[in-house]
């Protein structure tokens, strides 16, 4: 052996790990059987949060470089895939927790006050490191979310907040995307022509559809106007800035345009890595949202209309947070600005060649 031997038990520090489950109900001479399950499930959540933070830190390190190396992009995609796999495990943990009935939970619930999952320092770090900003959060008990953490954790959180997030670093990376506009390829002019034609065709379909009532036509045309407003913002930086100021967009104008181009030309070899990155960030947001909503259903199942142990509105707060706390919403909204493949402007041979990889074996 190259290194001193180590025993499985000692390597995993199982003495410390397995001695960290202490039922509070037992301390008050009123032991509740299912409190052990409740503790272990939440401790496992915290262990997985630690691993997710570890993966996010490595992704932040990659995207802090300019340019981001190709190998770093591939590694970031792989580790985002790992984060997604971990998040999907959370649904199974809720399945296990739901073997506890509401009556079982009531046996020890009073011993939890005012502890709450809202006080999870690690999960707050995960959200912040991914890109959830203070101003985009749902307010909790009319106070800032960090005031519910321990004083030492509040200080540590300041350091997390001060560092670039995945969202901010990906935004900078997107702003450096080549090929968006060159002297030989006026993509946005060609894109605008395709968009105008597509919108006009859609208007004609609405207006000439005999199955739509006049009210239905008016509603559909109003939706078309809202969609056209978004297209106009993509094509006009000033209009984009106005909508961004109202919270309609989070990414910069340049970054969102680059993300759209990546989506439209995702079949080109050099765009595959960036396309996979955007897709994985969408998956992270989607799975986190699903987990938050599943957590809300669990709270409703266990509490009904009761308040949460931390004093929140219980399941209703969790449902509202599931919708509010999305991070990569601009990537979801990109689908609004896609055009059919048949109308995507053809790349000049000079650019197409640069987007290809050539290898010899």
Beta bridge partners of 143: 140
* Confidence band, pLDDT 50/70/90 cuts, at residue 177: confident
pLDDT on residue 313: 58
CB 261, CB 345: distance < 8 Å: no
pLDDT on residue 351: 85
Q: Please state the rounded mean pLDDT for residues 249-267.
A: 95
pLDDT on residue 218: 93
CB 296, CB 255: distance < 8 Å: no
* Confidence band, pLDDT 50/70/90 cuts, at residue 359: very low
d(CA 130, CA 63): 12
pLDDT, one tens digit per residue, over 17-37 is 999 999 999 999 999 999 999
d(CA 119, CA 154): 11
- CB atoms closer than 10 angstroms to residue 125: 22
Q: Please state the rounded mean pLDDT for residues 116-140.
A: 90
d(CA 331, CA 250): 10
Q: Please state the rounded mean pLDDT for residues 125-144.
A: 86
End-to-end CA distance of the chain: 39
Q: Please state the rounded mean pLDDT for residues 245-266.
A: 94
* Confidence band, pLDDT 50/70/90 cuts, at residue 50: very high
pLDDT above 90 covers a percentage of the chain that reads: 73
Q: Please state the rounded mean pLDDT for residues 310-339.
A: 85
**What average pLDDT is seen over the chain?**
91
Burial class from Cβ neighbours inside 10 Å (0-12, 13-18, 19+) for residue 122 reads: middle
Q: Please state the rounded mean pLDDT for residues 308-326.
A: 76
Beta bridge partners of 140: 143
User: Range with the lowest mean pLDDT among 55-64, 147-156, 252-261?
Assistant: 147-156
Which comes out higher in pLDDT, residue 143 or 227? Answer: 227
Q: Which domains does the chain have, with CATH numbers?
A: 8-179+265-327 (1.20.58.480)
pLDDT on residue 360: 44
* Confidence band, pLDDT 50/70/90 cuts, at residue 115: confident
pLDDT above 70 covers a percentage of the chain that reads: 94
- CB atoms closer than 10 angstroms to residue 302: 20
pLDDT at residue 180 greater than cutoff 90: no
- CB atoms closer than 10 angstroms to residue 244: 18
pLDDT at residue 84 greater than cutoff 90: yes
């Amino acid at each position: 052996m190259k290194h001193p031997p180590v025993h499985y038990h000692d390597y995993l520090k199982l003495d410390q790990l397995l001695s960290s489950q202490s039922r509070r109900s037992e301390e008050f001479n009123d032991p509740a059987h299912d409190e052990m399950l409740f503790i272990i499930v939440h401790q496992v959540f915290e262990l997985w949060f630690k691993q997710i933070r570890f993966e996010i830190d490595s992704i932040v390190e990659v995207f802090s470089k300019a340019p981001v190396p190709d190998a770093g992009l591939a590694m970031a995609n792989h580790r985002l895939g790992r984060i997604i796999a971990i998040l999907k495990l959370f649904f199974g943990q809720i399945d296990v927790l739901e073997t506890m009935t509401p009556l079982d939970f009531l046996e020890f619930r009073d011993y939890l006050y005012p502890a709450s999952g809202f006080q999870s320092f690690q999960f707050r770090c995960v959200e912040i490191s991914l890109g959830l900003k203070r101003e985009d959060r749902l307010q909790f008990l009319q106070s800032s979310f960090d005031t519910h953490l321990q004083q030492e954790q509040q200080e540590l959180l300041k350091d997390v907040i001060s560092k670039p997030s995945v969202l901010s670093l990906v935004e900078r990376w997107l702003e450096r995307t080549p090929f968006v506009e060159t002297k030989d390829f006026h993509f946005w002019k060609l894109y605008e022509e395709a968009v105008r034609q597509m919108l006009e065709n859609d208007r004609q379909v609405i207006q000439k559809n005999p199955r739509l009532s006049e009210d239905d036509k008016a509603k559909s045309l109003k939706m078309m106007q809202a969609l056209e407003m978004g297209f106009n913002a993509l094509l006009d930086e000033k209009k984009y800035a106005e909508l961004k100021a109202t919270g309609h967009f989070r990414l910069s104008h340049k970054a969102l345009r680059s993300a759209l181009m990546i989506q439209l030309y995702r079949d080109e070899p050099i765009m595959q890595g960036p396309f996979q990155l955007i897709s994985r960030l969408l998956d992270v947001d989607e799975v986190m949202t699903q987990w938050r909503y599943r957590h809300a259903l669990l709270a409703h199942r266990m509490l009904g209309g009761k308040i949460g142990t931390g004093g929140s509105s219980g399941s209703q707060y969790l449902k509202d947070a599931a919708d509010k706390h999305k991070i990569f919403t601009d990537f979801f909204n990109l689908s609004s600005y896609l055009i059919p493949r048949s109308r995507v402007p053809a790349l000049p041979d000079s650019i197409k060649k640069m987007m290809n990889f050539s290898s010899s074996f």
